[in-house]
Amino acid sequence: MISFQYTAKNNQGGTTRGIVQAETEGAAAKLLLAQGLTPTDITVKQEGNRFFSRFTSRIRAKDRIIFTRQLATLLNAGLPLTQSLHTVSEQAESKQLTVIINEVISTVEGGVALSEALSKHPKVFNDVYIALVAAGESSGTLDQALERIADQQEKDADMISKVRGALVYPVIVTFVIGAVVIFLLTTVVPQIQLLYKDFNKELPFLTAILIGFANILINFWWLILIVLIAIGFFLSRWLKTSSGTDLADNLKMNVPLFGDLFTKLYMARFSRTGQTLVASGVQMLEMLRITSRAVDNVHVARAIDRAAKKVQGGKALSDSLKDEDVFLPLVPQMLKVGEQSGSIDKMMGKSASYYENELDNKIKTISTTIEPILMVVLAVVVGGIVLAILVPVYGLASESLG
């Protein structure tokens, strides 16, 4: 049983809140209705702080992969679908995933296909997942389809993890640089101002500028914080708009040092997803529709959509993608070979493997390139501040000794 928090209306029109235990959200709603309550909101009860529960309640890619792999293994062993789902539900570590699996079980036991039951939870099971399950159901190879899904998800998660790892280091170093600068400006630089004031001397130009920044930071830190929070809030909202997404996705593919990394990530994702779908028997146009949403970049997605229209008009996929600037040349070349040999899925798989290896090499290159760059930036920024501090001190010391 799972604990659900609910908000409901009673017969007198008042609002009541509480906790009910049930297998699924639907079952919890039925229990409340039987008690004369009309539920308006039902959520899984999270342990601990509500703020942190927003993050802990999310279903991780790892949980989804384990669920898929376990379900494939049980089906391959000959267990019925509902029994396999019940077994996987009992073993799931994520409470939120357990709720969703139980709802899927209820739907499947009502005579609905697994793919349709999973499609009711689009935040957990995307289009690729649903399409592969549907293809496995129609061909009678659901266990194999689930294995392909698990393999594809593992490779995708591995790529994302490597890209994030490449981005973490510069972010950490940038944060350290900022922290050091703030420390020097707020603690050391003001002491220089007091020292010059005691000696009735005029501050050097560079030191005066630093003290000006330090005074602003010390006296108006709260205003700076408010402005930064406001900028972050409105920027995050704007990035969710179509124009914001367009700009962000364009920057990802063109920003120095990282642009090539993201482009190869999209090529690998398109090829790997396409290979998995085609190998499972998904039709070409449906494969293109799904991969356009799976690549997670609007510019690549639009290129795929344009190619799909050309394919629908009778043009080969390789020729349709050849004119798209966002696609690297190897992808249409490999597709051309696949079209001629009748093995598009294998060629897309080779293309995916190539770009996945290229991604690894690019990440290693970025790691070795960015480290000295960041060290130089750190030396210049901190060295400049230290110089602005030490030069006046040595100047005063020289004057006092002279």
Two tokens, residue 41: 């909101």
In this predicted structure, the answer to whether residue 57 has a pLDDT above a threshold of 60 is no
Residues 265 and 356 sit within 8 Å (Cβ to Cβ): no
Helix ranges restricted to H, 81-141: 81-91, 95-109, 114-118, 127-139
What's the number of domains the chain is made of?
3
The predicted-structure confidence for 237-265, as pLDDT tens digits, reads as follows: 998 899 999 999 999 999 888 899 899 99
Q: Is residue 137, in this structure, part of any structural domain at all?
A: no
* pLDDT for 315: 92
The predicted-structure confidence for 325-342, as pLDDT tens digits, reads as follows: 999 999 999 999 999 998
* pLDDT for 46: 59
* pLDDT for 45: 65
DSSP state of 241: S
Q: Residues 44, 69: one domain? A: no
Q: Residues 159, 77: one domain? A: no
The predicted-structure confidence for 338-380, as pLDDT tens digits, reads as follows: 999 989 999 999 999 999 999 888 888 887 888 788 888 888 8
Q: Residues 258, 318: one domain? A: yes
Q: Residues 171, 225: one domain? A: yes
Q: Cα angle at 361 between 359 and 366, to 5 degrees?
A: 90
**Pairing verdict, β 15-22 and 38-44:** unpaired
Two tokens, residue 378: 């750190």
Q: Is residue 140, in this structure, part of any structural domain at all?
A: no
Region of 90 on the Ramachandran plot (φ > 0 left; ψ -120 to 50 alpha; else beta): alpha
* pLDDT for 52: 44
Q: Is residue 142, in this structure, part of any structural domain at all?
A: no
Q: Residues 393, 340: one domain? A: yes
Residues 75 and 42 sit within 8 Å (Cβ to Cβ): no
- Domain limits for position 394: 148-402
What is the band of 319 on the pLDDT scale with cuts at 50, 70, 90?
Answer: very high
Q: Is residue 143, in this structure, part of any structural domain at all?
A: no
The predicted-structure confidence for 71-99, as pLDDT tens digits, reads as follows: 999 999 999 999 999 899 888 888 888 88
As a whole number of angstroms, the distance between CA 105 and CA 127 comes to 20
Q: Residues 183, 202: one domain? A: yes
Q: Residues 298, 353: one domain? A: yes
The predicted-structure confidence for 286-313, as pLDDT tens digits, reads as follows: 999 999 988 989 999 999 999 999 999 9
Higher-confidence position of 211 and 358: 358
Which among 56, 73, 88 is the end of a domain?
56
Q: Is residue 375, in this structure, part of any structural domain at all?
A: yes
In this predicted structure, the answer to whether residue 401 has a pLDDT above a threshold of 70 is no
Amino acid found at 190: P
Q: Is residue 312, in this structure, part of any structural domain at all?
A: yes
* pLDDT for 221: 87
The predicted-structure confidence for 154-193, as pLDDT tens digits, reads as follows: 888 888 888 888 788 888 888 888 888 888 888 877 887 7
> CB neighbours (10 Å) of residue 235?
11
Average of per-residue pLDDT values in the chain: 84
CA distances, 123 to each of 26, 100, 308 (Å): 18, 11, 25
**Pairing verdict, β 38-44 and 2-9:** antiparallel
Which among 56, 76, 101 is the end of a domain?
56
Q: Residues 81, 195: one domain? A: no
Here the CATH number for the domain that contains residue 71 is: 1.20.81.30
Is the pTM for the entire model greater than 0.85? no
What is the band of 226 on the pLDDT scale with cuts at 50, 70, 90?
Answer: very high
Q: Residues 103, 220: one domain? A: no
Q: Residues 205, 255: one domain? A: yes
3-state helix, strand, coil in the chain (%, to 5): 75, 5, 20
Q: Is residue 334, in this structure, part of any structural domain at all?
A: yes
Q: Is residue 256, in this structure, part of any structural domain at all?
A: yes
Here the CATH number for the domain that contains residue 10 is: 3.10.20
Q: Residues 120, 240: one domain? A: no
The predicted-structure confidence for 13-26, as pLDDT tens digits, reads as follows: 777 777 776 766 77
Question: Hey, CA dihedral for 91, 94, 96, 101, is it positive or negative?
Answer: negative
What is the band of 55 on the pLDDT scale with cuts at 50, 70, 90?
Answer: very low
Q: Residues 30, 153: one domain? A: no
